[in-house]
Structure 1
Amino acid sequence: MFAKVKQRLQDMGTVKRLCEGAEGAARRAGQELPGAEHYVLSALELDEGSARRVFARLGMDADTYRTVLAGLHAEALRKVGIDAGGLGQPMPAGGKPAALFDSQPSGQALMRVLPEVAKRSAAPLCGAHVLLVAAGMQHSLAGRALRGMGVEPATLVRAAEEELGATFA
């Protein structure tokens, strides 16, 4: 029982770090609220390193993910007739972090599913769990960026499951 309580406390700390990191990633991109793609970036920065190891298994890294995200943003802006200019370059962070955390719909969806995915694993909540959820969000910017890096969702799921040492139902 003590182990479960300890794991829940650890998981709550991970959620806090994920949310703070996602908010920071969004602000650095000039956005007020984080989306699923910002949670992936945050997962890649967690100290436990599982998301980075999953990316490394697939020959990917966080910098390439950021570059692909910037390209997708620029492409979307071009489609509506806006010159992306220096998109992809660090932008000034706008405003202060909110007292209460909020996120874009894709970020909300990721965080809503994350606990269920983590429950199916014996491992404490970690960055690899975030990648498992993102792999299932094929129409999100996070999912499109992963595919833009040449990674199919099933391949990402297998690599994340290997990292977690579990097969999910």
Structure 2
Amino acid sequence: MLQQIKRKLDDMRTIKTLAEAAERHANAAGEREPGPEHFLLAAFDLPDGLARRAFARLGVDPAGIQQAIAAQHGAALASTGADPALLADAAPLPPAKGPYRAKGSMQGVMQQLAAWPRATPTEPLTGAHVLAVIACSAQGTAARTLRALGLDGERVGAAARAEIAGYRAV
């Protein structure tokens, strides 16, 4: 029981780290609220390295994700008739004050992370869990970004689950 409490506290710290990193990524892109694409970037920042290893397993360098996200945002603007060059002028925003806010699409991501079936009561939340949850979405900027990188959600999810399984075995 004590181990389960410790794991939940560790998970809360991981979520805090993810949320803060996602907000930094969103603010750097001139966005006030982070969405799944920013949590995707934040998963690669986690010290466990499992999201990076999942991408390596797929032969993809995660360094291209930020540019792919920007391209998806530009394409979304262009589809409405707006000039994608408007994004080039987006100045980084300072961190928000007050309670944490994220895009509405993050609610589903957080619920899926909370409901993730853990193999053991002590299995920690990792970047691979975040990657697997975000990869299962067929819509949104994160899903379009993965497709732009030549990845489908099923393959990304499988690579993430393989990293989680390997992490458990250690």
TM over 0.5, yes or no? yes
Counting aligned pairs with the same residue, the percent is: 37
Secondary structure at the aligned position of 1:85 is classed as helix
Say if 1:11 and 1:81 are closer, same or farther in 2 by CA, change over 3 A: same
Q: Give distance in 2, aligned partners of 1:72 and 1:22.
A: 17
Alignment of 1:72-111 (within 5 A): 72-85=72-85, 87=87, 91-111=90-110
Gaps of 5+ in 2: none
Alignment of 1:28-39 (within 5 A): 28-39=28-39
Alignment of 1:45-60 (within 5 A): 45-60=45-60
Gaps of 5+ in 1: none
Alignment of 1:5-24 (within 5 A): 5-24=5-24
When the two chains are superposed, the root-mean-square deviation of aligned CA atoms in Å is: 1.8
The amino acid that maps onto 2:58 is L
Secondary structure at the aligned position of 2:150 is classed as coil
Residue-pair matches, total: 164
TM-score (norm 1): 0.89
Secondary structure at the aligned position of 1:81 is classed as coil
* TM-superposed deviation, 1:94: 2.0
Secondary structure at the aligned position of 1:100 is classed as coil
Q: Give distance in 2, aligned partners of 1:100 and 1:61.
A: 34
Farther-moved stretch of structure 1 (146-155 vs 19-28): 146-155
Q: Deviations over 1:35-67 (max 9, x none)?
A: 100000011111111111111111223321111
